[in-house]
Structure 1
Amino acid sequence: MKLTIQRHQKGKSYEETFDVASLKVTTLLAALYEIKAKMDESLTFDAGCRSGVCGACALRVNGRETLACSYTPHDGDRIEPLNYHPVQRDLKVDKEKPQETLKRVLPTTIQNPKSKIQNPPLSSEDEAKFRVQTDCILCDSCYSACPVLAVNPDFLGPFALTRAWRYHTDPRYIEEVPNDSIQHLTSKIQNPVLLDTVQQNGIWDCTLCGECTAVCPQQIDPKSDIMQLRGESLKAGYSDPTLSTPSFGTPDFGGGFGFDPNAGF
């Protein structure tokens, strides 16, 4: 069995194929360890728990994001690092920039004034609303699979937006509204400031392609969470900015609908 690995060393990028037929490999991560131990000690990759829990070993196989510790290798597999991450060496990437997006969606929390006790316990119904989203292991697979980031590097990305939905649905969080311009739109909406942070380079930029959902090892559905955030945003008075200038591919003479009044029918 031969595995082709995209190498990145000393400023050079190249492919190298390793024949692991004689090695004992059950998972791709085991194969990488065997290659490093017996063929090329310079091979660099990330790993942690080896049990699909920490997300450290996420990479791409044949153009698809997966966890190396959970993937069974096949002859001819091509392994490469995650997309949109600075490559440090071989399959090891820097995840700092993608995970910085999480800071932008953290709610500014204060004690809920309606509660008479500190940190009120959650009901099972409330906890169920964000139980799945809490299982995110920050592997960055959904971020790497997102086609929006290829054209907009400032896009928040799927796991930041699904985390935003997790906080938005948690009744233990309530936010101060910073100004009247938001207050008059969102006086009855929980976490209005959080909703405000996901409007630009956020929920409306998503194409709803579902690639993030397809590659998530935890079966989280960022696409659905983004759709939920869109619905909450509409309730709060926000709107899809792309709908303000619709076009049907013909010249726009000020009517806003792209029709040419002189073109005839």
Structure 2
Amino acid sequence: MKINIKRFSKDKVYEDKVYQYDTNEDNLLKALYDIKINIDSTLTFRCGCKSGVCGSCALKVNGVEKLACKTRIKDSDLIEPMSNSNIIKDLIVDVSHETFLIKKTNSFIEENIEIELSQKDIKIIDLQSNCILCNSCFSSCPVYDVNKDFLGPFALTRALRYINDKKNASRANIVSSIQSNGIWDCTLCSACTLVCPQGIDPKADIMQLQNISIQNGYNNPNMQTFDFGTNFNDDFGGFNPNGF
């Protein structure tokens, strides 16, 4: 079986070029190891747990974000590094923005409330807690592709996790931090949801954050650019800020 790998290096003759390799492995991570050990020792990729838990082996297969350790490959598949991040070498990208975005959204417990949590409370934050920071959602996001200040799906999912955490006394700070270049900039395209290996739905999380923001007195700034027409109030009976 032949697979195509898009390689990149500032120090080698292959800069952003596709190379074809033969392998007998159908698991992508095993195939990468096979190529590195037996064919080309210069091939560079990242992995950790090899069981789909750490997220470090994320890359793109035929343009779609995948975990190498969980992906079965076919003949002539194209393997590429993740998008929206600086490429360090071959399939390894710089993920240092993770720490920056988490700090920017205040998505952690600054001040702890001593409170007993029920199983219901734990269940509310359980799914978002499963994020492995693989950056698949970040790579697939069309908004970040044009706006490098956008907080991105995983940062906003993490924000929701800590807003819903009853132990967190600083939830208002998180809500405030996600208003600019955050929840209102998302196009709700679902690209992030489709590629999440943990089954998290960042689109739904962002919609929930929008509702929470409105309940806390924030408004969608994009609404100011909408032109409802001069007869909007007459045609639709006026606007009720408290709902229909």
The amino acid of 1:34's aligned partner reads: D
Q: Which residue of 2 aligns with 1:208?
A: 188
What does the per-residue CA deviation read over 1:55-88, in whole Å, with 9 as the maximum and x for residues that have no partner? 0100000000000000001011000000011111
CA pair 19-107 structure 1, distance change in 2 beyond 3 A:
closer
Moved over 3 A (4+): none
Q: Which residue of 2 aligns with 1:77?
A: 77
Q: Which residue of 1 aligns with 2:42?
A: 42
Contact kept? 1:98, 1:143, Cα under 8 Å: no
What does the per-residue CA deviation read over 1:192-228, in whole Å, with 9 as the maximum and x for residues that have no partner? 2211100000000000011111100000111111000
1:108 CA drift (Å): 5.8
Q: Which residue of 1 aligns with 2:136?
A: 141
- What does 1:168-247 correspond to in 2, within 5 Å? 168-175=163-170, 191-247=171-227
The amino acid of 1:205's aligned partner reads: D
The amino acid of 1:192's aligned partner reads: A
CA pair 61-99 structure 1, distance change in 2 beyond 3 A:
farther
Contact kept? 1:213, 1:223, Cα under 8 Å: yes
1:38 CA drift (Å): 0.9
CA pair 111-89 structure 1, distance change in 2 beyond 3 A:
closer
CA RMSD of aligned residues (A): 1.7
Contact kept? 2:26, 2:74, Cα under 8 Å: no
Mind listing any 5+ residue stretches in structure 1 that lack a counterpart?
A: 113-118, 176-190, 258-265
Q: Which residue of 2 aligns with 1:109?
A: 110
CA distance in 1, matches of 2:109, 2:51: 34
Secondary structure at the aligned position of 1:3 is classed as strand
The amino acid of 1:204's aligned partner reads: W
Q: Which residue of 2 aligns with 1:15?
A: 18
Q: State yes or no: 1:122 paired with 2:102.
A: no
CA pair 32-19 structure 1, distance change in 2 beyond 3 A:
same
Contact kept? 1:85, 1:98, Cα under 8 Å: no
Q: Which residue of 2 aligns with 1:91?
A: 91
- What does 1:45-64 correspond to in 2, within 5 Å? 45-64=45-64
Q: State yes or no: 1:131 paired with 2:141.
A: no
Contact kept? 1:107, 1:193, Cα under 8 Å: no
**Higher alpha-carbon Rg:** 1
CA distance in 1, matches of 2:134, 2:147: 21
Contact kept? 2:144, 2:150, Cα under 8 Å: yes
CA pair 15-247 structure 1, distance change in 2 beyond 3 A:
farther
| Count of matched residue positions in the alignment of Structure 1 and Structure 2 | 227
Secondary structure at the aligned position of 2:151 is classed as coil
